[in-house]
Amino acid sequence: MARDRSGSSSRSRQLAARGIPEIPFAAPPGTPAGVEVLSLADLRRRVAPGKLAGPQRPEFHHLLTLTSGGLRHTVDFTGYSLRPGSWLWVRPGQVHQWGDVTHAKGTLILFRQDFLDQATATAARVEDPHAPVLSTPVADDAEALRIAEEHLTREFHALGQLPLAVHTAALRHLLSVLVLRLAHLATPFGSPVPEPDETYLRFRDALETAFTRTRRVEDYAHMLGYSTRTLSRATLAAAGLGAKEFIDRRVVLEAKRLLAHSDRTAAQIADQLGFADPTQFSKYFHQRAGQSPIGFRRSVRGHDA
């Protein structure tokens, strides 16, 4: 498994001291750089339960699937329940936290984004921060993913049977099959892969660049040349929520990340996120997160934070 080794940056060590380590990818000795496949039993032997339970922010992708048992996993402060056949995908930069892995069996696949070729990364939308975290494929999709995972696992553990360059190429192709299958579940055979609505994509991209400046749907509508109703219809169809809630969830997620990862005060975070004053930020956060900014920080970093 990728680990935070002695060569990590001072920033990573500082984050680790606060309980939210940034974890770089470090391939096991003798294996191809960029990908690792291990069982949950291997994970339990390698990493102490207490360390797994703490929040961490990996700089690489995690794909996790179970064959038996159950597991609770938290990603960006949202809890997910895994069962056999489901797939969890944690992307770089997301905060995740393991539940009790004692009774779960399954496979964990770790990979750097640059291990995939660019065409695959684009087609699988691996950079999409809004992609689903948890998927539960059925029927043919489930079987195809099971076979892809099995082939990838076998090839990873067949180190030395092929020249290293060939072995690495095989792993890259097998991983590509897996992520493409996961990214495009339940697409009818022979049908084009459905693309997200252009209105939604434009709004989503504009939000990523402007959410620290405005939280008003009207401003985004004016910016993009749409009506507010059009934006709400687009986000409702693509994300299942209206435009205002879509904006608010992005702002709150950024606030949570800053509270968890940084030592900035609530006042500094309020200013960074474009609030007029700390009181306005605290009220906004409490209404949407159910607790104060400082209360949230203490809940994820401990009462001494």
**pLDDT of amino acid 129:** 74
Dist CA 40 CA 107 (whole Å): 6
**pLDDT of amino acid 191:** 45
**pLDDT of amino acid 219:** 97
Is residue 179 domain-resident? yes
Kindly state whether residues 228 and 79 are assigned to the same domain. Answer: no
Please give the mean pLDDT across all residues of the chain: 86
Dist CA 62 CA 59 (whole Å): 10
Kindly state whether residues 169 and 208 are assigned to the same domain. Answer: no
Q: Quote the number of domains for the chain.
A: 2
CATH code of the domain covering residue 227: 1.10.10.60
Tell how far CA 160 is from the center of its chain.
32
**pLDDT of amino acid 175:** 97
Q: Look at residue 194 and tell me whether its pLDDT is greater than 80.
A: no
Kindly state whether residues 248 and 216 are assigned to the same domain. Answer: yes
| Degrees to nearest 5, angle at CA 207 with 206 and 210 | 85
Is residue 269 domain-resident? yes
Kindly state whether residues 151 and 215 are assigned to the same domain. Answer: no
Is residue 13 domain-resident? no
Task: List, for residues 215-253, the tens digit of each pLDDT value.
Answer: 999 999 999 999 999 999 999 988 889 999 999 999 999
CATH code of the domain covering residue 131: 2.60.120.280
Kindly state whether residues 251 and 106 are assigned to the same domain. Answer: no
- Residue 213 belongs to domain spanning: 198-302
**pLDDT of amino acid 97:** 87
**pLDDT of amino acid 19:** 41
Task: List, for residues 1-11, the tens digit of each pLDDT value.
Answer: 444 333 334 44
Query: Measuring CA to CA, how many Å separate 108 from each of 35, 52, 111, 268, 293?
Result: 11, 14, 10, 38, 33
Is residue 163 domain-resident? yes
**pLDDT of amino acid 132:** 87
| Residue 32 · residue 164 · CB < 8 Å | yes
Q: Look at residue 46 and tell me whether its pLDDT is greater than 70.
A: yes
Q: Look at residue 94 and tell me whether its pLDDT is greater than 60.
A: yes
Kindly state whether residues 129 and 258 are assigned to the same domain. Answer: no
Kindly state whether residues 255 and 170 are assigned to the same domain. Answer: no
**pLDDT of amino acid 261:** 78
Share of the chain above pLDDT 90, in %: 61
Quick one: pLDDT band at residue 149, thresholds 50, 70, 90?
Answer: very high
Dist CA 255 CA 272 (whole Å): 9
Task: Say which residue the tokens 């770790």 belong to.
Answer: 110
Radius of gyration (C-alpha) of the chain in whole angstroms: 21
Query: Measuring CA to CA, how many Å separate 210 from each of 92, 102, 196, 267, 272?
Result: 22, 43, 21, 20, 12
